[in-house]
């Protein structure tokens, strides 16, 4: 199976989007749930909670997506740290709790989601299509489940995600998390392949830290 992970040359490309999260500027992002904080020169969700108390972040459900929604064939890289998983009264433990990277995000109903860190120690690539009970959409598995990939809590991980249109009209998505890899082909599962969209980070019951996020155009 072909893997389309970014090679060393990607680092020298002019980025389409780049954020070290070292300052307080969040103009590249829309946060639809939770709170994007800047701490110790990196992005931080804060300690996740259900948002009910004074000073809460609401980041037990964290959703952050780029303002730009026109990315097509790209490579995404970032450093990511899952500090801990939690549960709250509103967000009981789920097998998918953890961190997920969005590509070709068109709306909360249509996107590709790459699950890189999950409570159940797996990785998987999913597609969300409009029409369903999950905020107006439904999730469909695109890849096989990659087992034996437990979350390395408190350790910086290097994450790479690549997305490419294929000559036959399908879309290939691949991802690497420190040597754990997952790849998928979307030939129109559930809805037509997604041709463009934003990038983002989703967190579920997870305290996340992240920095050095880069989006570069595919070679």
Residues 151-184 pLDDT 10s = 999 999 999 999 999 999 999 999 999 999 999 9
- What is the predicted pLDDT for the residue at 165? 98
What are the tokens at 216? 């570069």
- What is the predicted pLDDT for the residue at 8? 41
**Best CA proximity match to 143, nearest among 96, 183, 201:** 183
- What is the predicted pLDDT for the residue at 219? 86
Q: What is the model's pTM?
A: 0.93
Check residues 205 and 132 and name the one with the higher pLDDT: 205
Residues 8-52 pLDDT 10s = 445 457 999 999 999 989 999 999 999 999 999 999 999 999 999
Separation between Cα atoms, residue 219 and residue 217, nearest integer Å? 7
What are the tokens at 217? 């155009």
Q: Are 102 and 82 in contact (CB under 8 A)?
A: no
Separation between Cα atoms, residue 172 and residue 165, nearest integer Å? 6
Q: How far is CA 119 from CA 82, 104, 114, 150, 211, in A?
A: 11, 24, 14, 8, 22
Domains of the chain (ranges, CATH numbers): 8-217 (2.60.120.560)
Residues 61-99 pLDDT 10s = 999 999 999 999 999 999 999 999 999 999 999 999 999
60: left (phi over 0), alpha (psi -120 to 50) or beta: alpha
What are the tokens at 174? 């691949």
- What is the predicted pLDDT for the residue at 12? 57
Length in residues, the chain: 219
> Mean per-residue pLDDT for 98-122?
98
The percent of residues in the chain predicted with pLDDT above 70, rounded, is: 95
> Mean per-residue pLDDT for 131-139?
93
String of DSSP letters for the chain? -------GGGGGSPPSEEE---SS--TTEEEEES--EEETTEEE--S---S-STT---TTEEEEEES---B-SEEEEEEEEEEEE---SSS---TT-EEEEEEEEEETTEEEEEEEEETTS-BEEEEEEEEEEETTEEEEE-S--B-S----TTS-EEEEEEEEE-TTS-EEEEEEETTEEEEEEESSSSSPPP--BEEEEEEESEEEEEEEEEEEE--
- What is the predicted pLDDT for the residue at 13? 73
């Amino acid at each position: 199976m072909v893997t389309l992970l970014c090679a060393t040359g990607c680092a020298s490309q002019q980025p389409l989007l780049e954020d070290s999260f070292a300052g307080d500027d969040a103009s590249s992002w829309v946060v639809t749930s939770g709170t994007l904080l800047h701490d110790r020169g990196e992005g931080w969700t804060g300690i996740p909670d259900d948002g009910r108390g004074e000073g809460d972040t609401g980041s037990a459900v964290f959703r952050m997506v780029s303002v730009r929604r026109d990315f097509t064939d790209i490579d995404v890289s970032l450093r990511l740290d899952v500090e801990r998983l939690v549960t709250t009264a509103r967000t009981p433990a789920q097998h998918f709790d953890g961190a997920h990277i969005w590509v070709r995000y068109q709306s909360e109903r249509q996107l590709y989601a790459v699950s890189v860190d999950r409570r159940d120690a797996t990785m998987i690539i999913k597609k969300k299509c409009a029409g369903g009970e999950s905020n107006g959409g439904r999730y469909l598995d695109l890849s096989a489940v990659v087992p034996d990939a437990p979350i390395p809590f408190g350790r910086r991980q290097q994450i790479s995600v690549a997305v490419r249109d294929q000559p036959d009209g399908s879309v290939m998505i691949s991802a690497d998390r420190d040597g754990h890899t997952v790849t998928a082909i979307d030939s129109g599962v559930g809805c037509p392949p997604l041709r463009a969209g934003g990038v983002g980070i989703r967190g579920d019951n997870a305290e996340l830290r992240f920095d050095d996020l880069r989006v570069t155009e595919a070679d």
